[in-house]
Amino acid sequence: MKKSLVPLIAVLFCIVLLTAIIVNTRPEIQKPVIPDIKLKKQKAIYLSNIETAKEPGLLTRKQHIMDEKKILNLLLKAYSALDKGNISEAQNQVKTVLIFQAENNEALSLLGRIYYLKHEYKKAEMIFRRQIEVNKKFASAYNNLGQALLKQKKYSKAASQLLIAQDIDPKSGLIALNIAGVYAQQEKKKEALAAFKKAFELMGAEVITAANHPALDNIRKDKEFRNILKEAYKQLAIEQKNKSKKK
């Protein structure tokens, strides 16, 4: 009898042992292991350095912003130098801008103006033509090109450029005034007077400031020219009267 129970007891013992092992190895029953280390209190929180994104698009935008800041700074220096009469310094700053951005419209316009002020009209012409190549919708570029050509006594070419400028910006009194000047120098009095009248319509009394310009010598004694000036002076008197009333 006792001998027959020995195998049964052995089997039961193995079952109990295996059950204990399985229960103790289940994750939800295991106790968490907590290291016996006392954590120090953090006195401050420090941010990590900003990481530069790996995307090439963002890097390109970042470089673009940096370049724009440099260019703006250079242009401001150029304007400042020009205001102080330091034309050479202004020219150097603008040329540096064009190294970064060869098609910068403002830099090209400023460089052309600098050459014009230095009486280097052929160089001014080349710069204004380059500006037009960049964008054919800049009325100011055609106007300035016309003036550079006019200084070289290329009257017909100057007139054609000024007319293009007027087509782009028909409300510009300055362009109309310049057209009057170039026609007057060509002794095309009818066209010159019509352009001067248009300038008055657009500029009002401000046209008086250009009345004594040498470019208008050929039409200054004309009756129609004098009548336009009379109207301009009348308008100026009304404007001054209105200003005095407001005071």
How do the residues of the chain divide into helix, strand and coil, expressed in percent and rounded to 5?
75, 0, 25
Q: Which CATH number covers residue 74? A: 1.25.40.10
Q: Which residue has the tokens 């014009």?
A: 116
Look at residue 105 and tell me if it is in a domain: yes
118: in domain: yes
What is the structure's pLDDT at 28? 47
- pLDDT computed for residue 207 by the predictor: 95
Does a structural domain hold residue 132? Answer: yes
Q: What is the pLDDT of residue 209?
A: 93
> pLDDT tens across 59-76, in order?
566 556 667 888 899 999
The tens digit of pLDDT for each residue in 171-197 reads: 999 999 999 999 999 999 999 999 999
Domain of residue 83, residue span: 64-138
Secondary structure (H, E, C), 102-164:
CCCHHHHHHHHHHHHHCCCHHHHHHHHHHHHHHCCCCHHHHHHHHHHHHHCCCHHHHHHHHHH
Q: Is residue 70 part of a domain?
A: yes
Question: Which of 141, 139, 140, 159 shows the shortest CA–CA distance to 149?
Answer: 159
pLDDT computed for residue 202 by the predictor: 96
Give Cα separations from 93 to 99, 104, 145, 170 (angstroms): 10, 13, 22, 33
Instruction: Give pLDDT, residue 204.
Output: 94
Residues (pLDDT < 70) of the chain are: 1-66, 247
Domain count for the chain = 1
